[in-house]
Chain A
Amino acid sequence: MTQATTLTETTISELREIAGRYPEKRSGLLPMLHLVQSVQGRVTPEGIEICAEILDISAAEVSGVATFYTMYKRKPVGDYHVGVCTNTLCAVMGGDEIFARLKQHLDVGNDETTPEEQGKKSITLEHVECNAACDYAPVMMVNWEFMDNQTPDSAVAVVDDLRAGKEVRSTRGPRLCTWREAERVLAGFNDGLADEGPAAGPASLAGVEIAGERGWTAPVAQASGATGTEPETKEGAVAEADTSRAESETVQEKSQ
């Protein structure tokens, strides 16, 4: 698993294909690095060289990008990547306890991988930031698939099953693939699993269900004229927009 395979002609032509999706080929770099990881289990010096060559940029530039983004790994990742959300909301709801329990259970620290063991799959454990699933807190991600509403016990059961090679399903997604297979999807090569799993989890449906029970809907459309309350000028819009963020983003160039 940790052996880095060399990049074959097939991969190199896939890397070129990714670059070809964009009006300017350098835009392909992020997905290209995902593809390198899917083949080699990490971003290797070889992968960096080849991306640089395809994109006509220096290896140093590719390295600079690879080190900026947290999903790119320089150490080999295990068969499964397990991320426990420890941003505030999940941490408070129990994410800290889950993470502590997994560290102890797997006997690894943050961003470490369980040692290779005959007949067992390996796991890389990491704490992650808010994964946009706070209504399912505490949240765990396996290869970036949702494992919603975890407890320390359920999390331990998941990693035990993964290590034993049993099939595990995402709570809002398909049966879990390996980390390398996941990276291939991120490179833009769909694995045909989109139709697995539910449309939405229970929390996503909370409001729709209540509206259904009470017969609440959006108003019925009817045709008529303009409403006339919108700001007419850029300055007016900026004054109404609510943050310095809006202001810094939208105070328009006077040259127009």
Chain B
Amino acid sequence: MTDTLTPVLTDDWDAERSWTLATYESRGGYGALKKALTMPQDDIITAVKDSGLRGRGGAGFPTGMKWSFIPQDNPKPKYLVVNADESEPGTCKDIPLMMATPHTLVEGVIISSFAIRANHAFIYIRGEVLHVIRRVQAAVAEAYAAGHLGKNIHGSGYDLDVVVHAGAGAYICGEETALLEGLEGRRGQPRLRPPFPAVAGLYASPTVINNVESIASVPSIIANGADWFASMGTEKSKGYGIFSLSGHVERPGQYEAPLGITLRELIDLAGGMRHGHRLKFWTPGGSSTPLLTDEHLDVPLDFEAMAGVGTMLGTRAIQLFDETTCVVRAVLRWTEFYKHESCGKCTPCREGTWWLVQTLAALEQGQGSEGDLDLLLDQCENILGRSFCALGDGATSPISSSIQFFRDEYLAHLTGGGCPFDPAASTVWAPSLTKAGA
């Protein structure tokens, strides 16, 4: 039986000066790199395939398979790009990882680049996290000084340069092709696919793009073996992952567990919902994944089971809201976010998110009619599947799911002529328990 929590990536976060090379190496760091450099590159790709690791950036595509798509007969240079844009509302795992143990990521970058035969790698970090950028810059500098990066790494004949690149504020740059545009010094607007980045990515060359947590998981797979990784998790969702709990729970934070843990177990570990309150709705994997309710406490948090209840595992960004929270207010705010972040390239998303905000804002103030709920769903239908990238699709998730579960609450805004909730009751400093509930 696997333990309930299985700290691997988070295991060193409480170590003294965990961000330094000295601490990382004293705990076995860069051992996997030494091993990898003696392996045939295809064996590394096979190990990652066999481990069952699926992308931790939201979509869950098998990482080893993605690597194997890189056409090795293509004479162009190959690139590895790490997606450290972490901007999906609720998602807060990659940032603490890079702050506490940036060398885990750097080691993963070197092994992964070696496997796909890239001599250049880029870490694209959102610009709004200054100290994280410092720590990753410093870790890369330390890795060069120790001979883990640069020319002829540890006598292997393999060369690798890594550039730490700071973004400049744009959620859409988390979308992989928009990220490439940003990295090429352009506006971050998604590219048409095909061609896929594996064939024509950065500078039209074969490129692998992976999330921070995906790449940081690679050293553990090389060090401990594919079977070790696959011994955790569920049948098709293997391994461990960081679950991020935020909101109205006693102890918000990062909980690293095998995929398939349930929300009930996680809330239990986190000391329950805040005292005197109960769970009302939650996002399983960020705001772009349809909301769930307290009916879903026992659904395994893996890719398949989440799809089975009409949502997505996403980035395991679990935002928890109790009964003091107005779902219409929450959804309106997310919708304003999507409208603000829409890159403007395609009409369904650019115009659609604008209309969604108009309709929702009126409803929140108690204006409109019941027919506006159908109008909203209609607008969502015109965006979902018709937008150029998944940002537009994501914008519809909170709306359609909240209408599905909380139609009456929308209607209460209309009958009551406004919002029936007191926002002060939801705050951290609200006088607790006695005032529970609306």
Q: Interface residues, chain A, CB within 8 Å of chain B?
A: 21-24, 26-31, 33-34, 55, 64-65, 68-72, 83, 86-89, 91-94, 96-97, 128-138, 141, 143-146, 149, 151, 170, 172-174, 182, 185-188, 190-191, 193-195, 197, 199-212, 214, 216-219, 221-227, 229-231, 234, 237-238, 240-246, 248-250, 252-253, 256
A185–B231 CA distance with the chains assembled, in angstroms: 42
Q: Which of B308-354 contact A (CB under 8 A)?
A: 312-314, 317, 319, 321, 325, 329-330, 333-334, 337, 340-341, 343
- The one of B128, B167, B168, B226 in contact with A131, judged by C-beta atoms closer than 8 angstroms, is B128
A203-B253, A217-B6 known; A27 and B52 CB under 8 Å? no
For the complex of A and B, 4 pairs with smallest distance between CB atoms: A206-B253, A29-B185, A221-B224, A69-B168
Question: Which A residues are in CB contact (< 8 Å) with B8?
Answer: 218
Instruction: Pick from B131, B312, B427: contact of A94, CB below 8 A.
Output: B427
Q: Smallest Cβ distance from A150 to chain B, in angstroms? A: 9
| A229–B246 touching, CB < 8 Å | no
Which of B8, B165, B253, B329: most chain A CB closer than 10 A?
B253
In the complex, which residues of chain B have a beta carbon less than 8 angstroms from the beta carbon of A133? 92, 95
Contact A21 B163 (CB under 8 A): yes
Q: Is the CB of B196 within 8 A of A206?
A: no
B151 within 8 A of A: no
Interface string of B111-149 (1 = CB under 8 A from A): 000000000100000111111011101100100000000
Nearest CB in chain A: distance from B313 CB, A: 6
Contacts of A230 in B (CB 8 A): 49-50, 52, 62, 64
Residue of B130, B343, B428 near A138 (CB, 8 A) is B428
Q: Report which of B10, B13, B184, B247 forms a contact with A89, defined as CB distance below 8 A.
A: B247
Let me know if A208 and B428 touch, CB within 8 A. Answer: no
Q: Assess whether B96 is in contact with A207, with CB atoms less than 8 Å apart.
A: no
- Measured CB to CB, the residues of B under 8 A from A are 2-8, 10-11, 13-15, 17-20, 49-52, 54-55, 58-62, 64-66, 69, 71, 77, 86-92, 94-96, 99-101, 120, 126-131, 133-135, 137-138, 141, 163-171, 176, 182-188, 193-196, 198-199, 203, 223-228, 230-232, 235-236, 238, 240, 243-248, 251-257, 269-270, 287, 303-304, 306-307, 312-314, 317, 319, 321, 325, 329-330, 333-334, 337, 340-341, 343, 385, 389-390, 393-394, 423-424, 426-429
- Report how far A163 CA is from B269 CA in the complex, Å: 41
Q: Report yes or no: A134 in contact with B256, Cβ–Cβ below 8 A.
A: no
Nearest-Cβ distance from residue B334 to partner chain A, whole angstroms:
5
Q: Verify A218–B129 contact, CB threshold 8 A.
A: no
Residues of A contacting B313 with CB < 8 Å?
Answer: 242
Which residues of chain B are within 8 angstroms of A83 by Cβ–Cβ distance? 128
Which partner residue on chain B sits nearest A254 by CB separation? B194
Contact B187 A64 (CB under 8 A): yes
Q: A31-B166, A144-B128 are in contact. Are A226 and B50 (CB under 8 A)?
A: yes
CB distance from B265 to the nearest CB of A (A): 12
Tell me which residues across on chain A come within 8 A of B224, comparing CB atoms: 221
**Cross-chain contact B134 with A191 (CB below 8 angstroms):** yes
Q: Count of A-B contacts with CB under 8 A?
A: 384
A93 contact set on B, CB distance < 8 A: 247-248, 426-428
Q: A130 to B61, Cβ gap below 8 A?
A: no
Question: Could you tell me the distance between the alpha carbons of A26 and B185 in the complex, rounded to whole angstroms?
Answer: 5
Please tell me if the beta carbons of A128 and B128 are within 8 angstroms of each other in the complex.
Answer: yes
Task: Check A253/B50 contact, CB under 8 A, given A88-B333, A218-B7.
Answer: no
Q: Which of B65, B77, B131, B321 contacts A145 (CB 8 A)?
A: B131
Cβ–Cβ < 8 Å partners of B14 in chain A: 199-200, 205, 208-209, 212
Contacts of A72 in B (CB 8 A): 168-169
Tell whether, in the assembled complex, residue B188 and residue A186 are in contact, meaning their CB atoms are under 8 Å apart. Answer: no
Shortest distance between the CB of A171 and any CB in chain B (Å): 10
Question: In the bound complex, do residue B341 and residue A129 qualify as a contact, i.e. CB atoms below 8 Å apart?
Answer: yes
Q: Which chain A residue shows the least CB distance to B134?
A: A194
- Docked CA distance A207–B3 (Å): 12
Given A92-B423, A253-B199, residue A218 in contact with residue B171 (CB < 8 A): no
- With CB as the reference atom, state the residue of chain A lying closest to B88: A130
Q: Which residues of A contact B49 (CB under 8 A)?
A: 230
Residue among B61, B230, B243, B248 having the largest count of chain A Cβ atoms under 10 Å: B61
Contacts of A241 in B (CB 8 A): 54, 59-62, 303
Q: Select one of A71, A206, A244 contacting B255, CB under 8 A.
A: A206
The CA of A227 and the CA of B333, in the complex, are separated in Å by 44
Residue of B nearest to A86 (CB): B333
Judge whether A207 and B90 touch: CB under 8 Å: no
User: Which of A34, A89, A217, A253 is the one whose CB lies under 8 Å from B89?
Assistant: A89
Of the candidates B2, B64, B166, B253, the one whose C-beta lies within 8 Å of that of A205 is B253
Taken together as a complex, chains A and B put the C-alpha atoms of A144 and B394 apart, in Å, by 26
